[in-house]
Structure 1
Amino acid sequence: MEPKSIDCPRIKSKLHTTTISTAYNIILQIGLRLFSFIINAFILRFITKETLGIINVRLLLLYTTIQFITREPFRRTCAPNNSIDLDDNQDDGDETKKSKNQQNDWSKVVNITFLSIPLSFVTGLTFSIIWYKFFERPEHLLYEYQWAIMSIYVSVIIESMAETFFIYGQRYDYIRLKVIVEGIFQTVRCSLLALFVYISPEHSVFGFAIAQLIASTIYSLTYFSYFLFKKKIPMTTFLPNFLSDKDDNNESSSSSSSSSSSLLETSLTFFYNSLLKQFLTEGERYIMTMFSVISFAEQGVYDVINNLGSLPARIIFQQIEENGYILFSSLIKRDLDTSQQITKILKSLSICSNLTKLMAIIGLTLFTYGYHGASIVLSVYGGQNFINGSFGQLAIHLFQWHCIYMIFIAINGILESYSFAVMNTRQLNRFNTNLLIISIIFTIISLIIISYVGSVGFIMANCLNMMTRIIVSLLFIGNIYPNYSLWIFIRQTRPNFHTIISYVLIFIGLSIVYRWLGLADIFLWSKAILFIIINVIIIICHFIIIIYFFEKELCLFVRNELLFFKSLKNKQN
């Protein structure tokens, strides 16, 4: 049995909301990355590669580790709203009952989400001690390093106090709020860091500590101000039952306790899952930090290339993955047997297969047109001295391998978001076991490859890691219900054969042009600009051919479902 077209108005409405949210987030990320691109290019000209490695690898890794572990489990569990009802014929009594159920659900969500605050205290303190006591430290910057670790610990606690507000915004479709708050946070942190680096580059680590604290404080205050003062929502809405003076009858309390236990169990599962996923996502940084396999300076170069190479992942892939998870979670109840929701599963698989195909094409595009532009991008970003220095060739090779890595990231992101949204607690535990095995294998492979090829080995190992995770997700999807199979999903997901051939031919052609212009040997801006113009012309023609000749079904999905053109046309008629 194969998935049918998406024809439920409620699903279309949710899909439309998800698309708008993704679009807003992509616009935010593009704006932030352009701003960050300028700021980082500015900072690179004032601080050493060693200091850059301390800030962008060691300290930011501590921040993302504590932050991800203390809030990701609750966001995965609580951010998705109630499931979508396929029945549009509801009377007023049903709507009243649904509204009351939503209020009860929210009180249970608050009780669970509020746990992120004490968790941030415990987890933050634990990892801060580990970072300071057990890992290699920059002795010449030890005092500033101490203050930076402390500022990260405090800033995560401050941000956790606004987590309930964030969950509320996600559940009730405050689409632009997250975009605005995240934009303010990143802008303040980057701007203050650039200012401190410009004023006193020798104290850049201390400047980072101050910038982080101020940005986190503004982040939380913005959420508080918006909901409490602008929307005038009572503070009790965001407090758990034992703090909000709400009284429930015994039956309600019993039901709430049972449901809260279920949410807590799922959160604990996601907590374990978050630990593994964070290690697999930032695996190379953990290996750098724990084993000191490369110097702080080389870590700085790796981070610059990683930020550039993973730009599409942060701008596009992450937004589609996060919003896709919310959509799939709204569509399917994870603890309900699949035989009782076949229609919803079929529709969700149709969405997932189309999104995966779209992501695969985006990944192939980034690899095909980005691989030969490494030296050009790095010259713009870090200046000619950056690629002509002692780490220049390393930077180019790292960037090229990141282009390959993008293909795997693109495909894995949407597959995992679907798997995590659909799996029940037992399946999540089994998946976590698989992730644990993958993380151990990844660590061993990374250490082996790095000993032969250096820091490029991190990206090679990441490619193998992502490939394994893709296979695990595909095996789950292929067995989601008895009458479905892996080959049905792959057949619907894989790009057209002619599409793949077109990418192969264009890659070969661009390789010939790149060498014909001599950019592989001597970098000249006149030739680089000519190469960029050729790329732009080819990519425009290429997409027109793909859209109108090779991928007609995908084009219809994007136009009619994601962009909602069909619904708008029907309304006009």
Structure 2
Amino acid sequence: MGSQEVLGQAARLASSGLLLQVLFRLITFVLNAFILRFLSKEIVGVVNVRLTLLYSTTLFLAREAFRRACLSGSTQRDWSQTLNLLWLTAPLGVLWSLFLGLVWLQLLEVPDPNVAPHYAAGVVLFGLSAVVELLGEPFWFLAQAHMFVKLKVIAESLSVVLKSVLTVFLVLWLPHWGLYIFSLAQLFYTTVLVLCYVIYFTKLLGSPESTKLQTLPVSRITDLLPNITRNGAIINWKEAKLTWSFFKQSFLKQILTEGVYDIVNNLGSLVARLLFQPIEESFYVFFAKVLEREKDATLQKQEDVAVAAAVLESLLKLALLSGLTITVFGFAYSQLALDIYGGTMLSSGSGPVLLRSYCLYVLLLAINGVTECFTFAAMSKEEVDRYNFVMLALSSSFLVLSYLLTRWCGSVGFILANCFNMGIRITQSLCFIHHYYRRSPHRPLAGLCLSPVLLGAFALSGGVTAVSEVFLCCEQGWPARLGHIALGAFCLGATLGTAFLTETKLVHFLRTQLGVPRRTDKTT
């Protein structure tokens, strides 16, 4: 498969992921609005914060390292060994769910059973749902490695819709079940999701069409199950060692550097999750398939290196523009957003300062997502280990800085410490990218440079909206607020128009890769 074809499929994967995120957020928003009419906000809070965190943390620690290591392998591999390695995610998920479940039940404060009944059962069922989802990891990996876009869209959409229907039914008919409602719905969601992948591959591999798919490494559904390979090796130890390196990195990232505060985190990271996460996940697959680990850029196929550099430059530009837009306009509209979302209780306290600080963090988050997306796809195992060592060495300084800044300026200090940590990670990735391309004619880091005209447009918009906030928001009433919103919309339109006229290379990339349907995904 050529690099251009892989790029097209990665772009489709990113765009479909973006649409799915928007769909899921809308469904979740409407569902929460409905549920709050029948159940207490404490129950919804326990689900959205405590139990969802348990579920996502279990999945992250059990499978993230395996995904990064296995997706970066060459197509010329022993697929049985790779699939055997991926099956290890399930027992690891069992261990992590048991350990984290004990933490959630024994170390964290247990909610009042009169307010949030069946909390212990909720912890068990959310942990079980994570394990069930991990059982489908080999099937997900095969679909992701071969970019079966429609399968991903159908499976995730169907799972979310059916989960929502079940939740509504249980809320209407059995509201006294409390946390049982959400726990059973979550378990149902993961079961349907896994079954979609299993049923699809069962039908595909049992049909005459499968003989035409020469790219698929398996011919029978039983080939996806754990088995002993021809040479007697159970797993690929090179991939296993790379997985261990990525696990150490994921563990450090999850335990030492993640997390900001509830409502501000949800509002501030909404656009980041919608836009950046699908792009990072999809283009990691692209870079991993196009580039070979442990090889300098000059020793690889130059067409692939050139395409990877062009894509990286465009993604950096997109991340920078998106992050700057959020930062510039977020400063002037944080107070209004919090006021609309939660009233004066949020907008009159420290909330606006927190959200403004978080807008800066989102800018760094966007750039870091793209740079690490490339870096982790191109690094050798030894380079990943060195990166982990640096992260471990810096973790102590991060914790000390968090303590000092939190004592000095409260919650804002923790966000600023996260900004410092993200800046260090970005610097490491930029150094790697510069070193990777230093002997080639390509300079992808040029994507972090904007034209003076566009920078001026951002500066002018920031100044105008800041003045508008002082005179039109938020105590002056809704007519003044609407004026503030209209002025912001005008400045945003002018800024985006300037970007459209000055960043022609990025516009061309978005048009050709994200805006034009491709016909390469015939299998799904």
**Alignment TM-score, normalising by the size of structure 1:** 0.79
Deviation string 1:467-522 (CA, Å, 9 cap, x unpaired) is 11111111211222553699x554453222322221011011011222232x1324
- Is there any run of 5+ residues in structure 2 with no aligned partner, and where? 207-218, 520-524
Decide whether the 8 Å contact of 1:154 with 1:213 is kept in 2.
yes
2:513 counterpart of 1:527? no
The aligned counterpart of 1:168 is: 142
Structure 1 residues 188, 443: closer, same or farther in 2, change over 3 A?
A: farther
Deviation string 1:210-259 (CA, Å, 9 cap, x unpaired) is 222222222222222222246647321311224xxxx73xxxx16x66x7
- In structure 2, C-alpha distance between the alignment counterparts of 1:311 and 1:498, rounded to whole Å: 29
Residue of structure 1 aligned with 2:156, choices 175, 178, 182 = 182
The aligned counterpart of 1:555 is: 507
Query: Within 5 Å, which residues of 2 pair with 1:34-113?
Result: 34-43=26-35, 51-80=43-72, 82=74, 101=76, 105-113=78-86
The aligned counterpart of 2:211 is: none
- In structure 1, C-alpha distance between the alignment counterparts of 2:468 and 2:438, rounded to whole Å: 51
The aligned counterpart of 2:411 is: 455
The aligned counterpart of 2:209 is: none
Residue of structure 2 aligned with 1:541, choices 477, 487, 494 = 494
Which residue identity lines up with residue 381 of structure 2 in the other structure? T
The aligned counterpart of 1:297 is: none
Structure 1 residues 49, 439: closer, same or farther in 2, change over 3 A?
A: farther
- In structure 2, C-alpha distance between the alignment counterparts of 1:202 and 1:454, rounded to whole Å: 39
Decide whether the 8 Å contact of 1:55 with 1:208 is kept in 2.
yes
Q: What is the aligned-residue identity percentage?
A: 30
- In structure 1, C-alpha distance between the alignment counterparts of 2:101 and 2:496, rounded to whole Å: 48
The aligned counterpart of 1:96 is: none
Deviation string 1:354-411 (CA, Å, 9 cap, x unpaired) is 210111001111222333333443455x4xxx22237853443333333222211111
The aligned counterpart of 1:237 is: 223
Structure 1 residues 276, 192: closer, same or farther in 2, change over 3 A?
A: farther
The aligned counterpart of 1:270 is: 246
- In structure 1, C-alpha distance between the alignment counterparts of 2:197 and 2:450, rounded to whole Å: 42
The aligned counterpart of 1:117 is: 90
2:332 counterpart of 1:364? no
The aligned counterpart of 2:455 is: 500
The aligned counterpart of 2:259 is: 283
- In structure 1, C-alpha distance between the alignment counterparts of 2:395 and 2:335, rounded to whole Å: 32
Residue of structure 2 aligned with 1:434, choices 390, 413, 433 = 390
- Is there any run of 5+ residues in structure 1 with no aligned partner, and where? 1-8, 84-100, 285-301, 569-573
- In structure 2, C-alpha distance between the alignment counterparts of 1:396 and 1:481, rounded to whole Å: 41
**Alignment TM-score, normalising by the size of structure 2:** 0.86
SS of structure 1 residue aligned to 2:110: coil
Which range is displaced more, 421-430 or 136-145?
136-145
Decide whether the 8 Å contact of 2:80 with 2:226 is kept in 1.
yes
User: What is the CA RMSD across the aligned residues, in angstroms?
Assistant: 3.1
Structure 1 residues 206, 389: closer, same or farther in 2, change over 3 A?
A: farther
Decide whether the 8 Å contact of 2:205 with 2:221 is kept in 1.
no
- In structure 2, C-alpha distance between the alignment counterparts of 1:318 and 1:269, rounded to whole Å: 22
Residue of structure 2 aligned with 1:515, choices 470, 474, 492 = 470
Decide whether the 8 Å contact of 1:81 with 1:171 is kept in 2.
no
SS of structure 1 residue aligned to 2:401: helix
Which range is displaced more, 225-234 or 32-41?
225-234
The aligned counterpart of 2:210 is: none
Which residue identity lines up with residue 319 of structure 2 in the other structure? M
Query: Within 5 Å, which residues of 2 pair with 1:316-335?
Result: 316-335=275-294
SS of structure 1 residue aligned to 2:236: helix
Which residue identity lines up with residue 330 of structure 1 in the other structure? K
The aligned counterpart of 1:397 is: 353
- In structure 1, C-alpha distance between the alignment counterparts of 2:176 and 2:345, rounded to whole Å: 22
The aligned counterpart of 1:307 is: 266
Decide whether the 8 Å contact of 1:69 with 1:271 is kept in 2.
yes
Decide whether the 8 Å contact of 2:145 with 2:285 is kept in 1.
no
The aligned counterpart of 1:411 is: 367
The aligned counterpart of 1:465 is: 421
- In structure 1, C-alpha distance between the alignment counterparts of 2:397 and 2:32, rounded to whole Å: 34
Which residue identity lines up with residue 377 of structure 1 in the other structure? A
Which residue identity lines up with residue 113 of structure 1 in the other structure? L
Which range is displaced more, 341-350 or 119-128?
341-350
Structure 1 residues 198, 142: closer, same or farther in 2, change over 3 A?
A: closer
SS of structure 1 residue aligned to 2:439: coil
Deviation string 1:391-444 (CA, Å, 9 cap, x unpaired) is 853443333333222211111100001000000000001111222234433333
Decide whether the 8 Å contact of 1:283 with 1:443 is kept in 2.
no
Count, aligned residues: 505
